[in-house]
Every structure is written in C-alpha cells, then in structure tokens.
C-alpha cells in the first residue's frame, strides 16, 4: 500500500470512530424526558430527612440544602456591605453599596486562587483562609482606607460581610455552615466538616480586621438569585426594564448548580418545630440550594461514556460525586476532549507522528490542562483549514495537527458542548415543572437568573440549551416562556443582601 493509501485508510477509520464517539454524546428528547422526571424525583427525595444512618457526607443524592433565606429583596435595600466570594478559579472581595433603588455600586479586588491550593493535598485550611483574610486586608487598604482608622483613632465601625462560599455546605443557619465536601478541584482535607465562617473570621481577626464581621454564608446560586431580585423592576436600567423576580438562580461556569424557592411545608428535612415557627412568622418559602452538580451520582439515568468514567475515577478530586457537573460544567469540557484525544491516539488514529503515549506533548498528557476556552474557539472556527483551531491547539497544548485531524476534533468538541447544554436544560425544566412556575403568572413568563463563564461566553451554549428545553417535557410552548438572563456580579450583591438581613 502506498503512503497515500495508508493515510486514507487511517482517515476513514478516524471518521468512523469519531462518528461513534459523537453518537455516544448524543442526548435525544426521550432521554431529556427520562432525566427530567428523575430530576424531579431526586428533588423530592432530597427534601426529606436524611435516611437512617446517613449524614450529609455519605448521602449520595442531590443535597437540596436549605439556605435559611426566606424572603426576596425588593430593590429598596440600602447600605454598605462587604462581600467575599471563593469560587473555583478566583477569590473576590468587594464592597457593595446598595442604593435602595435597584442599583448599586461595587468595588472589587479579584485574585486568582494560587495553584498550590488546588494541587497540593498538604495545604491546610489555615493557609487557605489566612490567604483569604490577607486579600481582604489588601482590598480594604486599597479601596477603603477610611474604614481602617476612625478619625479619632478609635476602633473602626463594624462592617458586615456576606461570604459566598460556592461548595456544598451543611448550612446551620444564615451565618454558619460546615463543608460537606470540596468540589471543583480543591482537596484541602482539614476543611471538611468545619464551619467555614468561623475559619474565615478567625483569620480576619488575626489580620486585625476584627471590625469585619462575617455574618452571612451563602452559595453563588443563591447570591445570583437575590441579586436578580434586587435589580428586578429597575425601569431605568438598559437591560432590566422588564426583569421580574427569577424562578431559578443558576451557575454554568467552572461548576454548575442552581437554587429556587421551595414551600417551607415541603422541606421535611427541617425540624417540624422550626418549620412551624417560620410559618407562624408568616414565612412561606425558603431558597433551596439544590447542588444539582450531584444529580444522579448513582448514574441510573445520566449518559455515561468511558471518558466520563475515567475523569471521575482517575482524575477528579471527588470520585463518585458531582457526576452531573462532570458532564456539564466548564471545568470538565476540556478534560473530556483531552481524554477522547488520548484514546484516539492510543488507537493509532491521530497524532501518528508520536509513536507512544509518552512521546505526546506533555500538556496533552496533563489532566485539566485543556480549558473550555480553547474549546470555545474550536467550536466556532470557520477559517480555511481550521487555522484558528490549529493555532489554539499549538498555543494551549504545543500540539501540531493536520487539517483532517482538526475537522474531526471540531466534531468532537461540538458533540461535547451540545451534550453539556442539553443536560443543562434538565434541571431547569425539572424545577419549572415541580414549582408549576409556568402557570403561576399572567402569560406564565419566567425568568432564570444565570451567571458563569460557560453560559455567558461559550458560543451557542444558550441557544442549544433553549433547543433542549423545547425538546424537554416543557415543549416549544414552555420554552418560549423562559427568559434566560445573565445576572452579573450576582454573588457580591447577593452576599451583601444576605449580610443585610443577618
Ligand atoms: C459546584 C459547587 C456549588 C456551586 C457550583 C457553581 O457545583 O458544589 O456549590 O454553586 O459549583 O459554582
């Protein structure tokens, strides 16, 4: 066989293999229906008291965590608050001035989370929280020196801080909660089971910031939800003229998660006495942080490929948990692609200039090195010979590719992102159906307040999600009533709002 013939044979085999990989990533209407039904069942199960002999750390269903937030802001809230937000990529400290007219001003300091906190198992809680407190101190010195020293030299005035901590915590009240487990790559063992507000406050005190009082603990989804409520009804804002209160606050970024308001009488996991007390006080609903990243950890219904299994078992820091997140969120999209590429290479179908696995570029062999940003460039590349893709892969992985390889890689990227967006429709459809939200208001229009890099920047993600909503049990009529709004800075404003009521 001539070189050309061998080459053509390999290409044919590659195309066939990629066809079958893409097929494995496909999610159809029947699957969406099955998953939506199971999502609703899982929500109901998660609202019940924990089964005998289980605690939050061993429970594998969706956590459905009561947030202790029982009201929605209406935009008239006022005051200056601090907010701190530990996410999967950055730590942000901000001051939020709520003006009481749906608007606010925000100053912030964003610091990337040092790599060793994510990679090194021996980093301690003390090191992490001391870093957070030091960054808080830097923020105050830079943006609010006036707060550090009162004019007469007396102690500075107390400043309330809302802490957005976007990991599963067993919330004890509005102002405290213990970490159930890390997600999104953190591994610091001695934080698990501890009260994260206390850990942070202790380090703030150590930085002589005793006047900063961490009074509220919240999740980024809850923050997004509350921020959206605060802004809704602002007639002057360019994009929010018609904003109404959201039904869901959600994140599609490094991780994915969502919250919604549940009737207190349904939250059976809250002690009866406490539920009755809330009802007597006239409270009817409480925000539930679903932690939908952990939807179907048992893999009863979620689609699963060998790549998903490998990522969970071999490469993730929380094997067996957050399996929905591992198919949907930004942290994993690149890793899925990387695993597929390694597999195609092992089958002798791509990157044939590298004879063995060990010869592949180091970055291609490094877990989580391929970011979803690279996928977003490949997704929409329409340049001749997929030149943009070539450059992206060279730059990100030092990986040279042929035009044929790139065409196949693009197909795989599109299959991975489509599955992510289709699966993302499941919890949205599930919550809308469970709360009967489409039948609550005139015309049944509903808002979904979203934040996160994937929903904001990944090309086509929102329209694929919408398409999946129309294929889901909501149908095209339901889908048309759903308004997906990006609620930026949600966690800062939301944390400030929590601090206000704490
Ligand atoms: C992860 C966290 C969750 C957070 C989400 C989005 O799923 O467990 O608490 O809301 O990421 O940041």
pLDDT of residue 146: 84
The answer to which of 42-46, 121-125, 348-352, 411-415 has the lowest mean pLDDT is: 121-125
Residue nearest to atom 11 of ligand 1 (CA): 255
Give pTM, 2 decimals. Answer: 0.94
The pairs formed by 370-373 with CB atoms below 8 angstroms and a separation of 24 or more are 370/334, 370/335, 370/337, 370/338, 370/396, 370/397, 371/330, 371/334, 371/396, 372/330, 372/331, 372/333, 372/334, 372/453, 372/454, 372/458, 373/457
The response to whether residue 291 sits with its C-beta less than 6 Å from ligand 1 reads yes
Q: Binning pLDDT at 50, 70 and 90, where does residue 440 land?
A: confident
pLDDT of residue 482: 96
Q: Kindly report the CA angle at 492 between 249 and 101, in degrees rounded to 5?
A: 85
pLDDT of residue 88: 83
Ligand 1: residue of 291, 316, 453 to mutate (most ligand atoms within 8 A of CB) is 291
Q: Residue 244: is its pLDDT beyond 80?
A: no
Q: Which tens digits make up the pLDDT trace of 325-340?
A: 999 999 999 999 999 9
Ligand 1: residue of 56, 90, 167 to mutate (most ligand atoms within 8 A of CB) is 167
pLDDT of residue 337: 98
Q: Residue 240: is its pLDDT beyond 50?
A: no
Q: How many A from CA of 322 to the centre of ligand 1?
A: 9
Strand order in the sheet with 212-218: 104-112, 90-99, 78-86, 159-165, 212-218
The response to whether residue 67 sits with its C-beta less than 6 Å from ligand 1 reads no
Q: Higher model confidence: residue 185 or residue 430?
A: 430
Q: How many A from CA of 419 to the centre of ligand 1?
A: 19
The response to whether residue 166 sits with its C-beta less than 6 Å from ligand 1 reads yes
Residue nearest to atom 4 of ligand 1 (CA): 166
- 354: helix, coil or strand? coil
Place of tokens 């899925």: 336
pLDDT of residue 1: 67
Q: Residue 239: is its pLDDT beyond 60?
A: no
Average pLDDT over residues 257-278: 97
315: which DSSP letter? I
Q: Which atom of ligand 1 is nearest to the CA of 169?
A: 9
Q: Binning pLDDT at 50, 70 and 90, where does residue 487 land?
A: confident
Q: How many A from CA of 228 to the centre of ligand 1?
A: 18
Ligand 1: residue of 89, 166, 169 to mutate (most ligand atoms within 8 A of CB) is 166
Q: Give the up-direction half-sphere exposure of residue 238: CA atoms within 13 A in the CB hemisphere.
A: 0
Helix (H) or strand (E) holding 203: helix 196-206
Q: Residue 6: is its pLDDT beyond 70?
A: no
Burial class (CB in 10 A: 0-12, 13-18, 19+), 444: middle
Q: Higher model confidence: residue 88 or residue 334?
A: 334
The answer to which of 3-17, 46-60, 310-324 has the lowest mean pLDDT is: 3-17
Give the pair of three-digit tokens for residue 502.
Answer: 């704490």
Q: Percent of the chain beyond pLDDT 90?
A: 84
Average pLDDT over residues 380-394: 97
Q: Percent of the chain beyond pLDDT 70?
A: 96
Q: Binning pLDDT at 50, 70 and 90, where does residue 151 land?
A: low
Q: How far apart are CA 328 and CA 469, in angstroms?
A: 15
The response to whether residue 257 sits with its C-beta less than 6 Å from ligand 1 reads yes
Average pLDDT over residues 25-34: 98
Residues near 177 by Cβ (< 8 Å), separated by ≥ 6? Answer: 165, 169, 170, 171, 195, 196, 197, 217
Q: How many A from CA of 279 to the centre of ligand 1?
A: 29
Q: Binning pLDDT at 50, 70 and 90, where does residue 433 land?
A: very high
pLDDT of residue 150: 64
Q: How many A from CA of 65 to the centre of ligand 1?
A: 12
Q: Binning pLDDT at 50, 70 and 90, where does residue 286 land?
A: very high
The response to whether residue 167 sits with its C-beta less than 6 Å from ligand 1 reads yes
Q: How many CB atoms lie within 10 A of CB 345?
A: 18
Q: Higher model confidence: residue 45 or residue 121?
A: 45
The response to whether residue 255 sits with its C-beta less than 6 Å from ligand 1 reads yes
Q: How many A from CA of 289 to the centre of ligand 1?
A: 9
Q: Residue 229: is its pLDDT beyond 90?
A: yes
Q: How many A from CA of 45 to the centre of ligand 1?
A: 20
Summary mean pLDDT of the chain:
93
Q: Give the up-direction half-sphere exposure of residue 151: CA atoms within 13 A in the CB hemisphere.
A: 0
The answer to which of 152-161, 235-244, 476-485 has the lowest mean pLDDT is: 235-244
The response to whether residue 219 sits with its C-beta less than 6 Å from ligand 1 reads yes
Ligand 1: residue of 163, 220, 372 to mutate (most ligand atoms within 8 A of CB) is 220
Q: Binning pLDDT at 50, 70 and 90, where does residue 365 land?
A: very high
């Amino acid at each position: 066989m001539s070189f050309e013939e061998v080459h053509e044979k390999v290409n044919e085999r590659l195309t066939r293999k990629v066809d079958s990989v893409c097929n494995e990533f496909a999610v159809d209407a029947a699957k969406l229906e099955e998953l939506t039904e199971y999502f609703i069942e899982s929500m109901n199960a998660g609202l019940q008291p924990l089964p005998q002999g289980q605690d939050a750390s061993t429970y594998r269903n969706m956590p459905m965590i009561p947030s202790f937030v029982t009201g929605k802001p209406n935009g008239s809230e006022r005051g200056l608050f601090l907010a701190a937000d530990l996410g999967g990529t950055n730590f942000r400290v901000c001051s939020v001035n709520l003006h009481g007219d749906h608007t606010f001003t925000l100053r912030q300091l964003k610091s990337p989370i040092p790599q060793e906190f994510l990679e090194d198992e021996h980093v301690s809680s003390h090191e992490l929280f001391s870093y957070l407190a030091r960054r808080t101190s830097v923020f105050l010195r830079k943006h609010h020196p006036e707060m550090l020293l009162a004019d007469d030299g007396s102690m500075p005035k107390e400043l309330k801080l809302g802490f957005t901590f976007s990991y599963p915590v067993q919330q004890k009240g509005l102002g405290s909660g213990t970490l159930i487990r890390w997600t999104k790559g953190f591994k610091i063992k001695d934080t698990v089971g501890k009260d994260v507000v206390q850990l942070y406050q202790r380090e703030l005190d150590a930085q002589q910031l005793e006047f900063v009082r961490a009074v509220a603990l919240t999740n980024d989804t809850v923050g997004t939800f509350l921020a959206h409520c605060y802004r809704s009804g602002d007639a002057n804002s360019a994009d929010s003229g018609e904003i109404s209160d959201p039904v869901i606050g959600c994140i599609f970024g490094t991780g994915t998660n969502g919250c919604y308001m549940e009737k207190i009488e349904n939250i059976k996991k809250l002690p009866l006495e406490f539920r009755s007390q809330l009802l007597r006080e006239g409270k009817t609903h409480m925000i539930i942080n679903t932690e939908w990243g952990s939807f179907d950890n048992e893999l009863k219904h979620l689609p699963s490929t060998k790549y998903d299994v490998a990522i969970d078992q071999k490469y993730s820091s929380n094997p067996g948990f957050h399996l929905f997140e591992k198919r949907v969120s930004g942290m994993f999209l690149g890793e899925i692609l990387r695993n597929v590429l390694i597999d195609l290479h092992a089958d002798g179908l791509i990157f044939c200039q590298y004879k063995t696995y060990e010869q592949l570029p180091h970055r291609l062999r490094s877990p989580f090195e391929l970011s979803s940003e690279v996928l977003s460039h490949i997704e929409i590349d329409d340049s001749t010979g997929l030149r943009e893709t070539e450059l992206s892969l060279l730059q990100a992985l030092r990986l040279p590719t042929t035009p044929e390889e790139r065409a196949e890689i693009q197909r795989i990227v599109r299959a991975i992102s489509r599955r992510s967006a289709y699966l993302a429709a499941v919890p949205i459809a599930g919550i809308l159906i469970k709360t009967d939200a489409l039948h609550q208001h005139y015309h049944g229009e509903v808002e979904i307040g979203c934040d996160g890099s994937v929903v904001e920047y990944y090309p086509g993600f929102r329209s694929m999600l919408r398409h999946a909503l129309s294929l889901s049990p909501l149908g095209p009529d339901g889908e048309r009533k759903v308004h997906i709004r990006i609620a930026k800075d949600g966690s800062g404003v939301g944390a400030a709002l929590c601090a206000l009521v704490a």
